[in-house]
A = this chain, B = another copy of it.
Amino acid sequence: MTEPSRPGEFELIARYFAPIAGPGGLGLLDDAGLLRPGRGYEVVVTADALVAGVHFFPDDSPDAIGWKALAVNLSDLAAKGAKPEGFVLTLALPRGWTEGWLADFAGGLARMAEAAGCPLIGGDTVSTSGPLTLSITAFGTVPAGRMVKRSGAKPGDVVLVSGSIGDGALGLKVHGPDKPDWVATLGAEDRAFLADRYLHPQPRHALADALQRHASAAMDISDGLVGDLAKLLKASSAGAEIDLDAIPLSGPARAALMAAPALAELAWTGGDDYEILCTASEREYPALVAAAEGSMLLLTPIGRITAEAGVVTYRGKGGAHSFAQGSFSHF
């Protein structure tokens, strides 16, 4: 078997990555890229690594892999109240990669970069004997001192989430190879919606400015609402009372829960939401919700911050509820 004819590193950069580059990328021809934060601004930096077979299925559409790799980083920037400014990509390509795969991957990456106004400014491409591995470091800017931390929640603050919760975790079941019985009970449109929410998360960068102005704490929900709330509370040395019935669900997620009520647990604890979890004082809360609505994004109050560090009370129709395992573990 002969190796397919493939472009070298420089052709590859020129053909697929240079079109995603902004002026700070210097045509991807130098050893480094440049960020030029405006006067009085700071740079927020976030990084996520993704490994084939761990974070996505190796045969997922390369377009979706490219989209999502950048989206999960932009989701972190949004939660910090930062405006996206650029990113770098390091890509370890497995033996047998094809140019077609790479073209589609770069296409998905380019669409997300374009949608967010976040150009590529540098990176590195290497080979690996293992699975495809990629790492993105993304940069955003905030006015100095205005990055929204996890640690700022205060007793009495309202707890809110953006969009709808659970679609990503349900979408993974719909999309994955071993489909549970409930999947067949959903209509084709609901299945497509949930799978797409898993494959193409929408980073909430439209919320960044509102969060920076009005939120007391925020993080993005990537490892499940219940587990990520525990992290925010730990950083803030606070507790919370959460109304499970207030947690917003999409129509397709509600349809799945009708078919299999036990899925509620998955919706609340499963990963891949890429929504924003935030808190705001009683005073700032109306302005935060109004600013979000101005960006056509829904922020839903789901509870209150309490003073007792680490204690979270979940209540719903069935009374109090406790969670055995809060969050996806990375090991």
Q: A37-B37, A129-B130, A330-B125 are in contact. Are A47 and B79 (CB under 8 A)?
A: no
Which of chain A's residues 167-219 have a Cβ closer than 8 Å to chain B?
Answer: 219
Of the listed stretches A24-32, A155-163, A304-312, name the one at the interface; the rest are far from the partner chain. Answer: A24-32
Could you tell me the distance in whole angstroms from the C-beta of A218 to the nearest C-beta in chain B? Answer: 9
Verify if A133 is at the interface (C-beta below 8 Å from B).
yes
In the complex, the answer to whether B43 meets A35 with C-beta atoms within 8 Å is yes
Contacts of A80 in B (CB 8 A): 30-32
Could you tell me the distance in whole angstroms from the C-beta of A113 to the nearest C-beta in chain B? Answer: 16
Q: A54-B127, A128-B54 are in contact. Are A45 and B33 (CB under 8 A)?
A: yes
CB-CB nearest in chain B for A35: B43
In the complex, the answer to whether A329 meets B9 with C-beta atoms within 8 Å is yes
Q: List the 4 closest A-B pairs by CB distance, nearest first.
A: A130-B130, A49-B90, A135-B135, A137-B137
Q: A32-B82, A35-B42 are in contact. Are A55 and B126 (CB under 8 A)?
A: yes
Of the listed stretches A145-153, A244-252, A260-268, A284-292, name the one at the interface; the rest are far from the partner chain. Answer: A145-153
- Identical copies in the complex: 2
CB-CB nearest in chain B for A72: B124
Known: A34-B42, A49-B135, A54-B128. 17 other contacts (CB 8 A): A9-B329, A30-B150, A30-B151, A30-B235, A31-B219, A31-B220, A33-B46, A34-B45, A35-B43, A47-B123, A48-B124, A51-B133, A93-B331, A94-B130, A128-B130, A128-B133, A137-B137
A329 to B11, alpha carbons, bound, how many Å?
12
Q: A47-B88, A51-B126, A329-B8 are in contact. Are A31 and B150 (CB under 8 A)?
A: yes
Chain A to chain B contacts (Cβ below 8 Å), 12 pairs = A8-B331, A30-B80, A37-B37, A49-B91, A51-B127, A51-B128, A54-B126, A54-B129, A90-B137, A125-B330, A128-B130, A129-B130
Verify if A53 is at the interface (C-beta below 8 Å from B).
yes
A96 to B147, alpha carbons, bound, how many Å?
38
CB-CB nearest in chain B for A79: B31
How many residues of A sit at the interface, in one of the four size bands?
35 or more
In the complex, the answer to whether B49 meets A121 with C-beta atoms within 8 Å is no
Verify if A92 is at the interface (C-beta below 8 Å from B).
yes
A197 to B144, alpha carbons, bound, how many Å?
41
Contacts of A259 in B (CB 8 A): none
Q: A29-B150, A35-B42 are in contact. Are A9 and B330 (CB under 8 A)?
A: yes
Could you tell me the distance in whole angstroms from the C-beta of A266 to the nearest C-beta in chain B? Answer: 22
Partner of A129, one of B77, B89, B131: B131
Contacts of A219 in B (CB 8 A): 30-31
In the complex, the answer to whether A330 meets B54 with C-beta atoms within 8 Å is no
Could you tell me the distance in whole angstroms from the C-beta of A81 to the nearest C-beta in chain B? Answer: 10
In the complex, the answer to whether B128 meets A124 with C-beta atoms within 8 Å is no
CB-CB nearest in chain B for A43: B35
Return the CB mask of A9-21 against B: 1 if under 8 Å, else 0. Answer: 1000000000000
Partner of A126, one of B46, B124, B330: B330
